[in-house]
Structure formats: C-alpha cells, structure tokens
Chains A and B, each alone.
Chain A
Amino acid sequence: MSRMRTALPDAIAFLDRSPASWKEGVETAELNRRLLWFLLLRASVIAILLLLGLGKSLLIRGLTIGAPSLLCSAGLLCVMNVLFWLHYRKAAACADIEQGKLMAAMNIQAQIILDFLILGFLVYECGGIESPLVYFFLFHNTLSCLFFPRRISFFHTLLSVAIILAIHLLVRAQAVPETHFIRMGYYPYPGASGPGDFYQLGGIAFMYGVAWYLISTITDSLRERERQLQEKVREMTEVDREKTRYMLVTTHELKAPFAAIQSHINVMLEGYAGEVPEKVREILGKIRARCAILSSMLVEMIQLANLASLKERRAELTTERVDLGRAVEDALARLDEIAREKRVSFDAGAAVPGRHFILANPEQMQILLNNILGNAVAYSRPGTAVAVELRAEDDSVLARVRDRGIGIKKEHLEKVFLEHFREEKAVEVNPNSTGLGLSIARRIMELHKGRIWLESEEGKGTTVWMEFPGYGAQRR
C-alpha cells in the first residue's frame, strides 16, 4: 500500500532533471512537478490505449473505435512524450535560468495543445458528444488554471470547447462520417444527431466555462496569497541578514578600540617602546586585564541579545547535521593552549567524532562548547583532568563535562545560570570572566530544545550535563 502511495513521487523524482534554482520559487517548482506529472499521466494513457487497442473486444463490449485508431494514438503520444522529455532536459540544463523556465512553460503549453488535438480525434472516434471522453479536457484545463494566467487558461478552455464544437459541426455537416461510442444495438442510445444534441453541447460549454471561472478565481487568489507570503519571507530574510551584518559591525566597532589599546599595552609591556618601570608595568597589566574583560563582555552581551531576540521572535534556527564529537574535538583544540598553561588535561576518549549527530546551529554549538569547556578549564585545579563524555540515549544525545575544580555551592546551582551572577570563589579563581557564559549556554540549549543542568560538590568539582534531541528525533 505504502509502495503505491510513493510510486508517483518516486517516478517524478526519477524523471526530475530540474536545477536547484527551479526549486527556490514555489511556482517554478510546481510547474516542474506538473510537467513531469503530465509525462507520467501520458504514459498511463498510452498504456490504456495500447491495452484497449489490443484487447478492446474483451475489455469494453460494443466499443466502436477501431484498434488502429487506438494504437496510432498511443504511438503518437509515445513519440510526443519522448520529445517533450528531451525538450524538458534541454530546458533544465539551460545556462540561462530564466530562459530555461520559459522553455519549461512553453513545453507544458505545447503538451496541452497537442494533447487536445489527439483527445479531439479520440472524442470523434468514440462518438463525439455522446462519449464520456468530452469531459477529459477538464484535466488539462484545471492544470492550466493553476499554472498560467487567466487569459491563457481561458484560451485553453475555449480551445477545448471549440474542438468539441468543431467535431459536432463536422459530423452534422456530414463532412465526416457519424460515429457512436457504443455500437447500436448493444444499448439504446439516441445518437449524436438527435434533437437534444445542441442542448447537450450547450451544457458541456457551460460546464467548461463555469469550471474555468471557479478554478481560475480560486487559483488567482491563492497565487496572490502566495506572492504576499513570499514577499514576507523575503522581507524577513533581508531583516535577518541586515541584523547579522549590524551585529558584526557593532561588535567590531566596539571591540576594535579595546584591541588597539591592548595592542599598545602589549607593545609597551614587552619593552618595544623602551624601559617600563615595575610599578607602571603592574598598572599596565591591570589595564590590559580590564580591557580584556570589557572586550569579551561586549561580545558575550551581543551574543546574549541575539539569542534573546531569536527566542522572542520565535525565529527558526538555521540548523544542520552536526557531529557533536567533532565539535567537542575542535573546541578542545582551541582550548589546548590555555589548558596547557593551567596544567589541565582533557580526557575525551568517550567523545569521538562520527558517532553522535544532532540537528543544530554549528556556530552556536561552537559558542556553547567553548563556554562549557572553557569554564571547566578555568575552574579546574592544576594537574587535574576535564572528562568529556557523549552518550546516545533513546531519542537524544547526552553530553557530560566533568571537572575536578572548585565546585559550586548547592544553593547556587541554578543561580549560576543568571546573567552576571558569580560566586565569590569563582571571581577569586577566574577574575577575568564576565558571568555570562552559562546564561548564553542555557539560551542556546533552549533554542535547540535541549536541557542543561549542573551537579556539583563544593571543593570537589562540577559536572555539566547537556541533553540534545538526537538527529533522528529532530528530523521527525
């Protein structure tokens, strides 16, 4: 059953040759899909015509249309299908994207018109307006309403009615022999030249007209709504891009003066600007440290504001498949120098790349791991190790970072997630921290629908737990 359900999408995917740019606009993507759908539909019609042509008398008793007509139509449709497919491939491979889209639209137009002509022939062969085939023009007319402007879909409707009318008039004028759907004698039927035929013709034309009006009106309003939606999405994307650019420039503008001050101080402290007295050296060291704190505080405050704004706007995170083990490995590499200075080692044997995957924003994962692992190093006692472990749970990935450091008081285990909250002992050990790292970490985890919590024993160390929804769970 499920195989039947996926048969059509699978067949469309098999035939699909459209470039990525065609999938960006809903209209072009749908146009592409319907073009392929037409090819598939025609393939089924070919199969039906072939079956009827070969076993007509067995399948429908009394059908008047001859086997050669059915087989010729099938052959013609088959050639058309191949030509349309080749033309579509050419359109999809066209270097000029707009030209390619135009070719695809023309392809559909040509398919509709040629289908109409063949359908017209089959309608005539099957008895004109007495044949149920006269309603088959509706499939194309409906799709035409969906993909083309009203004047074009109206033209298609008009063409289909004109074909039906022309067949009937040609029969009435005896320019062509009269045909019937079912051979006379099998079922009583008044025939195409009965007195009610013009009423029937009028009814068909009326039905085609009303169907065109209803469908084209609905699709017009849907198209307008889609256009508005796309406009909104474009505006939002533009706002997001502008915001990112603004953040980047602001951060740079705020950080640059501190960087310049620190560079000058570094140059002075290392004696490039002459001898520096001991007391001045001490003061310069303090200025440099304060500059460093201010500078990282600026970055972290902007990060925090950005995360808060994402949450407020309920904006969707840009996520991708992230190898958590690899992200840990990268973060540890970045912290390697600081860790060596502090004589702290890493035990990350249980956090190797290629095993644990999550759906996450890679930049935010980088910030998160830098904060958590950076804290673990900063508050560890010299000579100890920070253990990092990743573990797959049912629908999640659990990360554990354990240090042998100063620990956190039990009553402060939640408070440390507040902005700027710092324990006295922490300030003593790491005076250069801003007190924003864990707030940022929690916000990142919330945005990723994950959890972060701490376990700690004062004086013995802290364990940070992070639970991420697994890649499979997020995808569902």
Chain B
Amino acid sequence: MNKKVFIIDDDRDIVESITLVLEAHGYAVSSLTSAEDAVKKVKGAKPDLVILDVMFPENPSEGFDVARALGSDKATRGIPVIVLSAINERFKLGFSDKDRDETWFPVARFLEKPVEPAKLVKLVKELIPS
C-alpha cells in the first residue's frame, strides 16, 4: 500500500508542486490549505508523514503551534513532521533555538521553500522508508 503524506500549507501553488512530485514517486498525497482543525484532520487522514508550513495568514507561527499539538496528541505523536517555510534559517526571525529543540518542538526536519524535488523526495524516503 502506498505511503500517505499530508500537506498543510496555505500556498496552493506549493501544495500543487509538492503533490506532483510525491505522487510521481508513488505516495498518496492529501492536503489542507488552512491550519484550522489541522490535528483533527490529520487524525482522520492517518498519514505516515506530515509536511507543514509555518506561517499562516492569521498567525505567523501557527505551524509551530500545530506541530506542538501534533506532538502532544497520543494519536499523532509518532507521525514525523517536516516543517516547510519561506523564511530560512539565515533570517531566523521567530525561529528561536527553542523552536528547533526536539524535546520541546517535535519536528523531524526543516525544509526551505522553494522546494527542490530531489531534496524533498530524499528526505521523505529517509523518514518513511517504503
């Protein structure tokens, strides 16, 4: 059975391009363009991996909140999360070291936008080997 990837990003173009790449590699992709009820929807979709944006229109750090909520919920705790953001580490406003601390913020990896297909596929394969 195909591994399931769940994308949460308000940028439809990014969702579209990631979906195209991952589907070509045999992953079943579903997505959400708002962070509202994200945890509930992830629970429903039961994905093997979540790709999560950081900044959403109503809250510039909503992605962090969602990642923490996923990490603290029994049902979603084990799902690896890749955080995707247009703000890279070089300009890490709002990305404090605390945000990257694994014990406090359960995120498997950070990935910077624009997405490089080869890098993304390599990372996904590494986190959810088929």
Q: Which residues of A contact B (CB under 8 A)?
A: 244-245, 247-249, 251-252, 255-256, 258-264, 266-267, 270, 272-273, 291, 299, 302-303, 334, 363, 366-367, 370
Q: Note all chain A residues with C-beta closer than 8 A to B24.
A: 272
Q: Is B93 an interface residue (CB 8 A)?
A: yes
Q: How far is the CA of A270 from the CA of B21 in the complex (A)?
A: 9
From A248, A261, A273, give the contact of B94 (CB < 8 A). A248
Task: Tell whether, in the assembled complex, residue B20 and residue A258 are in contact, meaning their CB atoms are under 8 Å apart.
Answer: no
Q: Which residues of B contact A263 (CB under 8 A)?
A: 13-14, 17-18, 113-115
Flag if A267 contacts B87 (CB, 8 Å).
Answer: no
B90 touches A255 (CB 8 A): no
Given A245-B60, A248-B94, A260-B13, answer yes or no on A266-B87 (Cβ-Cβ < 8 Å): no
B117, CB-defined interface residue at 8 Å: yes
Whether A262 and B114, one on each chain, are in contact in the complex, defined by CB atoms closer than 8 angstroms, is yes
29 A-B pairs within 8 Å (CB atoms) are namely A244-B93, A248-B60, A248-B94, A251-B87, A251-B91, A252-B55, A252-B86, A252-B87, A255-B87, A256-B11, A256-B86, A259-B11, A259-B86, A260-B11, A260-B14, A260-B17, A262-B113, A263-B114, A263-B115, A266-B114, A266-B115, A266-B117, A267-B20, A270-B21, A270-B118, A299-B88, A299-B91, A366-B92, A370-B90
- Taking Cβ atoms with an 8 Å cutoff, the residues of B that contact A are 11, 13-14, 16-18, 20-21, 24, 55, 60, 85-94, 113-118
Nearest Cβ distance between residue A162 and chain B, in whole angstroms? 56
Decide if A267 touches B90 in the complex (CB within 8 Å): no
Complex contacts, B87 vs chain A, CB 8 Å: 248, 251-252, 255
Q: Is the interface of A mostly helix, strand, loop or mixed?
A: helix
For residue A258, which residues in chain B have a CB less than 8 angstroms away from its CB? 114
Contacts of A260 in B (CB 8 A): 11, 13-14, 17, 113-114
- Contacts A248-B93, A260-B11, A260-B14; is A272 near B113 (CB within 8 Å)? no
CB distance from A75 to the nearest CB of B (A): 52
A255 to B86, Cβ gap below 8 A? Answer: yes
Return the chain B residue nearest A330 by Cβ.
B89
Closest to A264 in B: B17
B94: chain A residues at CB < 8 Å are 244-245, 248
Q: Pick the contact of B60 from A252, A262, A334 — CB < 8 Å?
A: A252
Among B21, B87, B91, B115, find the residue whose CB has the most chain A CB atoms closer than 10 A. B91
- Which A residues lie within 8 Å of B86 (CB)? 251-252, 255-256, 259
Tell me the bound Cα distance from A159 to B5 in angstroms: 76
Q: Provide the residues of chain B in CB contact with A363, threshold 8 Å.
A: 92-93
Docked Cα-Cα span, A267 to B13, in Å, equals 11
CB contacts (< 8 Å) of A266 on chain B: these are 17, 114-117
Q: Separation in Å of the A173 CB from the closest CB of chain B? A: 71
Contact A267:B93 (CB < 8 A) given known A252-B86, A258-B114, A259-B114: no
Return chain B residues, CB-CB under 8 Å to A259.
11, 14, 86, 113-114
- A255 → chain B, closest Cβ, in Å? 4
A252 to B84, CA, bound (A): 12
Interchain CA distance A259-B84 in the complex, whole Å: 11
B92 proximity list for chain A (CB < 8 A)? 363, 366
- Known: A266-B114, A291-B114; 20 extra A-B contacts, CB below 8 A, are A251-B87, A252-B60, A255-B87, A259-B14, A259-B114, A260-B14, A262-B113, A263-B18, A264-B13, A266-B117, A267-B17, A267-B20, A267-B21, A272-B24, A273-B20, A299-B88, A302-B91, A363-B92, A366-B89, A367-B90
